[in-house]
Amino acid sequence: MKSTRPGQSVNAVGVDRRVPTWAAGLIGGLSRDVPSVVTREDISERLTDAGSDRDVDSTINELRRLGWLVGLPIHGVWAFIPPGQEQLADPYVVLRAWQARDPDAGFMLAGAAAAWHLGYLDRAPDQQTAVWLPAAARLPDGLRPHVSVVQLRWSGAATNLLGPSTKFLLQRKLDLVSWASGLPAFGPEALIVQLAARPSSFLPWADIIAHLDRLADDCEDERLATLLADQSTSAWQRAAYLLHAAGRPLRGLDLLDLRPRRPLPKVKFEHRSVGGNDSGIWAPEYHLQDRLITPLQLVLGKA
């Protein structure tokens, strides 16, 4: 899947799109390769390949003036606008810029972005892109207006299971490399953990409810339990209840039995945008007050 979001374009290009003689080889190579973003080092290498001894910084400034490069909120990285295209439409261009500057950034698409690429939303999300970051990583200041961070902590071993399994990708006939627009992204198990541990970090609940059964069936319970191991008991309760609400109650109870043996606290499953004064339903097996899933299922006729 590929999405474009209204309002996510970064700067329309200028009207002057000439190709000066000195830039013909450089722009020709960029037009052939169509990189989403380029760094100062990229331009330097391309100038060398073109046999040019032009100054790199003055070249970048001139390409920006001509409308072939557009500035991004990541220092030292620019977006290339191919011929025939008037503005940037890639919703992830700022993340690609970050990845180009710091290949070890370690971020992953999470939340609605991951759900969209996994096939659990019927329309592309139009809010800030949500990402998960490793504990040691920090979101660059320039990305704060464009990206939200999902606060979840996993041990080193668990992080290897955050993406979808190869088996899942093959079953869905998704490209192993480019399935999420070429960026690392949560698989179904990590998505369920996010929904369970941080319900407020996910906005399009009404959209994903219609695909809750598919999300449950795509999850491998062993992977899910491993990813829940670092989370709170309440996250276990909500994750198990999600399986229950998806029509898989036995799997839900089995998952709950795998939690570390601690008493079950009274837990609410709610979101500020759903429920209102509705008290929801009490699910005694999970010691959980559902003010989110069932109300939406009733509205959508999925209960």
Q: What dihedral do alpha carbons 96, 87, 42, 2 form, nearest 10°?
A: 40
- What is the reported pLDDT for 64? 94
Give the Cα separation of 27 and 84 in Å (integer): 13
Last residue in a domain, options 34, 63, 90: 90
Q: Check whether residue 130 and residue 54 sit in a common domain.
A: no
Give the Cα separation of 234 and 246 in Å (integer): 18
- What is the reported pLDDT for 261? 84
- What is the reported pLDDT for 155? 85
Q: Is residue 288 part of a domain?
A: no
Q: Are 29 and 80 in contact (CB under 8 A)?
A: no
Q: Check whether residue 33 and residue 159 sit in a common domain.
A: no
Q: Check whether residue 83 and residue 113 sit in a common domain.
A: no
Give the Cα separation of 75 and 58 in Å (integer): 16
Q: Is residue 45 part of a domain?
A: yes
Write down the H helix ranges in the chain: 24-33, 40-49, 56-66, 93-101, 111-118, 156-159, 166-171, 188-197, 205-209, 212-218, 221-228, 233-245, 249-257, 293-300
Give the Cα separation of 108 and 190 in Å (integer): 11
Q: Check whether residue 118 and residue 86 sit in a common domain.
A: no
Q: Check whether residue 86 and residue 222 sit in a common domain.
A: no
Q: Is residue 98 part of a domain?
A: no
- What is the reported pLDDT for 278? 66
Q: Check whether residue 143 and residue 252 sit in a common domain.
A: yes
- Quote the radius of gyration of the chain (alpha carbons, Å): 23
- What is the reported pLDDT for 1? 38
Q: Check whether residue 54 and residue 150 sit in a common domain.
A: no
Give the Cα separation of 17 and 65 in Å (integer): 9
Q: Is residue 302 part of a domain?
A: no
The residue assigned the tokens 């709170």 is: 232
Q: Check whether residue 58 and residue 130 sit in a common domain.
A: no
Q: Check whether residue 129 and residue 62 sit in a common domain.
A: no
Give the Cα separation of 59 and 168 in Å (integer): 45
What secondary structure, in 3-state letters, does 111-125 show?
Answer: HHHHHHHHCCCCCCC
Q: Is residue 7 part of a domain?
A: no
The residue assigned the tokens 């990708």 is: 169
Q: Is residue 211 part of a domain?
A: yes
Q: Splitting the chain (303 residues) into consecutive groups of 10 residues, what average pLDDT does each group show?
A: 38 63 91 94 92 93 94 95 85 95 95 97 91 92 93 90 96 92 97 98 95 97 96 97 97 96 93 73 96 91 62
Strand partners, 150: 132
Give the Cα separation of 236 and 255 in Å (integer): 8
Q: Check whether residue 131 and residue 232 sit in a common domain.
A: yes
For 56, the domain range is 21-90
Strand partners, 129: 147
Q: How far apart are the first and last CA of the chain?
A: 29
* pTM recorded for the entire structure: 0.90
Q: Are 302 and 209 in contact (CB under 8 A)?
A: yes
Q: What is the DSSP secondary-structure string of 117-160?
A: HHT--SS---SPEEEE--TT----GGGTTTEEEE-----HHHHT
CATH of the domain at 81: 3.90.56.20
Q: Are 179 and 118 in contact (CB under 8 A)?
A: no
Q: Is residue 205 part of a domain?
A: yes
Q: Check whether residue 232 and residue 152 sit in a common domain.
A: yes
* The pairing of beta strand 288-290 with beta strand 267-269: parallel
Q: Check whether residue 115 and residue 231 sit in a common domain.
A: yes
Q: Is residue 207 part of a domain?
A: yes
Number of domains in the chain: 2
